[in-house]
Structure 1
């Protein structure tokens, strides 16, 4: 039942954003009492955290899969493209993952969200460490991965709802993302 509640919640968010998330609608769809979902998620925040964790896991899988056929720095570029693509394909889920899901982090499900976030970041950090020829735990690997994540996340947020259109059609955002990725990898965070 827990998995069914979560799956339905994820679909509600995908279709209509966080505003569409309704525990009562989930209960009706699953033909259970309105209280039944709360046996698995103590409150709406816990359900939002679980939806965010699910989205973060999907993002991590997309990033890992995108990197597979590439070599070296192109693996890192592919991860960035996968991140941008995920944000464009899943705008409501993406907004939830980094919006309300990141507030009031006092549920067990919030721990799962944090863990999924760490695992997703580790996909990027691992590839950065390989390119930089340093250990995964080396500070430069984490700092460089964070700089890359921040840059691509900013582009993703701008791409949502076509907000990147304010800079005009003359900007090839994927080209810029690739160029910035390669520059950050070479220079590292300063």
Structure 2
């Protein structure tokens, strides 16, 4: 029985000691798996289900660790994979990259470590920004405003999944507080 209780601690210790590149690859694998499942038909007793924009979740999570070339490449590739299935070429990649930059900018500007409300509200706003970009590019490419209700259901699905898997997108680059005279 004790060995089962030690598994979460062992996983947390392994995750804390993982290098940023390993964390990036694990996050990319999670996005790819959720994206592949998203290609299957999704309905529950004939009611279509909203599927989250996992690329935006990765953009928000990786953006909180700052800008980097590796996450940008993965976000662009995920965007192209999404575009191949449902959208004009480059629209999801653009939304992913702009959301990534916006997340990095907002996280750098705000002190989320000392303000728990901001650490909750900033991903909510950043994901709304990303979904708004997807809606805007869909409206521009179709020549008319697309329906907002499906985008809102996708937003709430994305927000729910973000709350569950967001720790997987922490690249481990932490800001350290300035030491006082006693350090």
TM-score by length of 2: 0.36
TM-score by length of 1: 0.35
Higher helix share: 1
Larger RCO of the pair (alpha carbons < 8 Å, separation 6+): 2
